[in-house]
Structures are given as structure tokens and as C-alpha cells.
Amino acid sequence: DTAVSQTPKYLVTQMGNDKSIKCEQNLGHDTMYWYKQDSKKFLKIMFSYNNKELIINETVPNRFSPKSPDKAHLNLHINSLELGDSAVYFCASSPRLAGGPKTQYFGPGTRLLVL
Amino acid sequence: AQTVTQSQPEMSVQEAETVTLSCTYDTSESDYYLFWYKQPPSRQMILVIRQEAYKQQNATENRFSVNFQKAAKSFSLKISDSQLGDAAMYFCAYRIVNTGSNQFYFGTGTSLTVIP
């Protein structure tokens, strides 16, 4: 029954590795997002996908790449992990209702620790 | 530039008392939505309340209510009868309506402690 789910919940890895975080939503939403929350709890949007099309890409290193196999999934792949990538990553989704608030629904977060 | 400012990094309230968290935002748009999200220690982001900018009436959700002052670009959250479970990080956010972007703008958060 979980609306937005992320796996894994925790991820500990070495510098230089490549890792992926998966996100799935069962709400039928058209738009999905990835956020990074650093140690100071500042929330920064990284990407959003609308019907498989990237519509936002903030100043994120190209080591980060979102991959959306279908409308219900938006996975985050990270190459050559760096210490500064340690953070909590949140997936979110929102409906594409015209004129609506497009309230975002968040996943539980993935805590990434790069050693 | 679109910005959201939460000027109180930390707040505390006695259990059963009332607390108000402040939020101001900067936008030249006239049509937008405002949100308060709660992030408990579990780190999950939970929608608390939302407000449509075109509505003059302040939104309420049980013990949570907002004071929306559009001219002042202020959107404060009032928590009445505070409970221990209200202890969390609270984020203010807004989203512009008339844009192809679905971007949300978040504040830096206010950490709320509830004292038993």
C-alpha cells in the first residue's frame, strides 16, 4: 500500500563505486522527482521527470543520471561516488492535473554514506 | 529569484501549548500553491497542509492552521495543542501554477522540539 517506495533504505559504499537507488510510485502520478538532503537538512531538487521527459535538471554533476523505465519508476544512478555525495535522497511524485496543486508525495528516503 | 525563507532554524513548545512557525517567500507570480511538510526523525516527508494563493480563507487541518498574508508574502503555520509526535523538522514550500515546470521551492526548515 506504500504510495512512494524507495530501495534501498540505507546504502553504504566506497568512493569511486557506482550505485543505483530505485523509486516506484503506485499513485498513477505523471511527474516524479529526486531531492538531495544534506547534513544540514537543506532540501535540494535534483531532477524531475514528466512522462519520461526530463523537465528539470538543476546544477547536478553528470555523475548523477535519472532513469525512468516507465511512468511509475524513476531510478537514480550515481557514478564514481564521492564523499560529498553522502546525504539522504528522496524520491517524490505528483499528479499532472492541470491547474491543480500537484502536491508532492515523498518516499521514505535513502540514506547514502560514502566512505 | 524564487526563494522561501524560514527565519527560525529551531523552535520549542511546551506540550499542549500553541506554536507558530514562520515562512516568507519571494515571487512575482500571483497564482501559486503553498505547502507545509513535516519531517520526523524517521526522515519521511509528510504533507501537513496546503493553501491555494487565490483563496483568502486560511487552510486548516485539525490542529494545524495557517496564517496566509498574500500581500506580505507570509505563510505561517500554527500548531495548536502541541503533541510529542509533532516534534519534527518543518519545511515550507511553494509551487507556481502557470509554468511548465513542476518545480517546488523549499525553505531551509525549522526544527520543532516539543517539551513534555
What is the reported pLDDT for B102?
Answer: 64
Return the higher-pLDDT residue of A1 and A24.
A24
Return the higher-pLDDT residue of A13 and B98.
A13
Choose the mutation target among A43, A48, A59, A106 for the interface with B, i.e. most B CBs under 10 Å: A43
What is the reported pLDDT for A25?
Answer: 94
B82 contacts B19 by C-beta, under 8 angstroms: yes
Query: To the nearest whole angstrom, how far is the Cα of B87 from the nearest Cα of chain A?
Result: 15
What is the reported pLDDT for B82?
Answer: 97
Say yes or no for a CB contact (<8 Å) between B102 and A103: no
Distance CA A107, CA A4 (A): 5
DSSP letters for B12-50? EEETTS-EEE--EEE-S-S-EEEEEEEE-TT---EEEEE
Choose the mutation target among B37, B90, B104 for the interface with A, i.e. most A CBs under 10 Å: B104
Name the pLDDT band for B16 (thresholds 50, 70, 90).
very high
Say yes or no for a CB contact (<8 Å) between A101 and B39: no
Q: Which amino acid is at B29?
A: E
Name the pLDDT band for B8 (thresholds 50, 70, 90).
very high
pLDDT in tens, A33-79: 999 998 877 888 888 888 767 776 768 888 999 998 888 999 999 99
pLDDT in tens, A87-109: 999 999 988 655 566 688 889 89
Contacts of A77 (CB under 8 A, 6+ apart): A18, A19, A20, A64, A65, A66, A67
What is the reported pLDDT for B36?
Answer: 95
pLDDT in tens, B39-93: 888 777 889 999 988 888 999 999 999 999 999 999 999 999 999 999 999 999 9
Say yes or no for a CB contact (<8 Å) between A106 and B45: yes
